[in-house]
Structure 1
Amino acid sequence: MKQPLDSAKEVAQATSGAIFKTAGFLTSTIKGIGKGVFQPIASSLTPTKTPEPGTAPGIEHYLKHEADHEVPVRITILDYGPEKLESREFDSVEEALACPRHEPHHVRWINVDGLKPSVVDKLCKHYGIHTLSAEDVLNTYQRPKFEAFEDHLLVVARQIQLVGDQLKNEQISFFLFEDVLISFQEEVGDVFGPVRKRLENPAGRFRTYKADYLFYALLDSIVDHLFPLLEGYGIAMEDLEMEILKEPSTKSQQRLFAMKRDLSLQRRALWPIREVVDQLYRDESGLIHPDLRTFYRDVQDHTMQVIDLLETYRDTASGLSDLYQSSVGNKMNEIMKVLTIMASFFIPITFVAGVYGMNFEYIPELAWHYSYFVFWGICLSMTGGLAFYFWRKGWIGKDK
């Protein structure tokens, strides 16, 4: 039975408590979605543009253009074992690689914030990682994928998190060895804070298993962090539904279209993770302990739940689009109904006024002493009769 400590659900709960301080938090976020916040992180953080078709494969193209972009890099090394945990930060990849690992530490986690080609190249060469895998790290437009090598696994995932009032879609690349885990992030800031906190517990499973359990915890944290975000979409849709029913407007339509686009982009980013987790669960390389397959299957279940929620909200967004069209149509019908009734009141009056407004010399009624008052009596009577008829029909004065 899975223990609460071994799941990243506490991450979702903590995030949910932070972002649900206001019920409609996502309604303000969605306003900026249309500007493409779900594109990869700004190009200023990327070493260079994607290589043109026909360019030689590998990381050499990025190394050649590294001087064109200055990318800040922070390298964190976390060593832990059954008895001790030690964390250090480095600004230089040479210092990080030269950092010794003491005997009690049987797992090393190297986390790199910032994609600098020379740093990626030196780390990959040090651990015998293929140059094409290093290229995948720098090409941040990668679809989530899984590749198995002789002594390590490559997993590319997407980390989606709420930063300020916008959502950030970031690529994270993992290299899993038996006792080493290397992770590359585009910039500082991730959802792994609770995992780092759990590493401090000497009685946790981290101290028993090797890097495979750490990798599971990080992947589970990425997936579970999506639950409160999707719940936020549910709250935003409920607010939007009430707004559309009450007073549909152009702003409501724009927010709805932005939401639908946002959910579609999320689906494109999240759907391949299901395949990645399934391949990890079935992996036979020996890098994942058999006892941990149950944990990876749990991540797969969470992934399916996230995708189901995403599909549900996409269907809801489509339903809201139909609701908006119906509400606008009903509102227009009500306007036309009012105008038609007003016209119906004045049509008979206009007819009577037109008959007696003609320039004939002899109109008998014009010589009557009380003809003016009779005229108004006829007009009011016809108007009153029409109003009574419309009321009996339920066209006015009655709520349907």
Structure 2
Amino acid sequence: MSQWQQQPGDRLTQNRILRWNSAGWILFGLLPPAVAVIDASPARRYWLLGLLALVALCHTVVLTRPDNPLLRPRTYLAVLALVLGATAYLLDGGAAFYVVSLPQFWLFTRTPRDAITLSGAAAALTVFGGTLDQGWSPQFLTGNAVFTVVAYAAGVGLGLWVHRFVGQSNELQEQLTTELATTQEELAAAYQRQGAAEERERLAREIHDTLAQGFASIVVLAEAARSATATDPARCAEQLTSIEQTARENLAEARVLVGSAPESGVAPGSLATTLRRTLDRFVQDTGLTVTAELPDTELSQRTRIALLRCTQESLANVRKHSGASTVGVVLTELAGGVELEITDDGCGFVVEESRGFGLDGMRRRLAELDGELAVTSSLGDGTRVLVTLPTHSQE
């Protein structure tokens, strides 16, 4: 609609400016000429009131229907300029009416050139209208004419300054909007990368705790079965059965990881039952002595999975590194939490020098549930793994 409204600014503020300008124009622009013409001759009174009503109607239409094809803003401003000239003629001067109407030539035009041209035409008509009845008298030249010209010049200067200020503000706003959009895109990309990294880490941990451990067991069992083929066929058959069972479990875990099966690993129910089954398999595969204290404890699915994965990782480390003969597993229910202790009488290790993925994976898994992992070991004294999980992490 106007040079200001065409810019991507705050339309609420623009509409407020237009409403305040309209109220001021009606109060200080239309009403004074209407009051001043009351004592004039009937012809002048009717003509002026009719012109004021016409320009008020046009103003209302343009303000409420700016896209009306029958009355464009430029057409309205041309009508306003003619009414200003006619008012100056009928009232012997109309500089005050012109000054009050001057902001509209900037509010309802698209470019400063249009505003300068149309407001200049209105100024000329105002001066010309006043001279028709009074002529070029000294009183007129020092009054309405000079006041109109000065107002036009001041309006042009102020309008150009405001136009430049608004333009700079809009440029700054566009720049800030562009920078904000760029920042939002960068943040979205960063969140996406972070999410992908977290998902890769989760998958790596799950693969290490399930598939990798299962394949390691299969390799160990296959080597033992090959050695026992000729000397102990019965033992070889047991190990082949363990290989088959481990492979099936790995297949089930693989289906969980690719999303073609619901999350499993720990069947709903007692954690103690699942841990006993895991320990029985461990004894069957390794021949080690295992003692266990596993009371039935009600825990959430995520907590049961975390405790099972920590047990599997600890048993895998015992099998691969410790050289132990005895393993102890104790599950204890505490006030507000649960504790799992796994010990062995193996060769031990220096905890600070451990660089394996397993312990770090256990710590990260437990941290997601506000849990803690404590590993105590020294060379020749075995190893103690202590897992502590709060029950408030249950879902």
TM-score of the superposed pair, with normalisation by structure 2: 0.35
Higher relative contact order (CA 8 A, sep 6+): 1
Structure ranking higher in helix proportion? 2
TM-score of the superposed pair, with normalisation by structure 1: 0.35
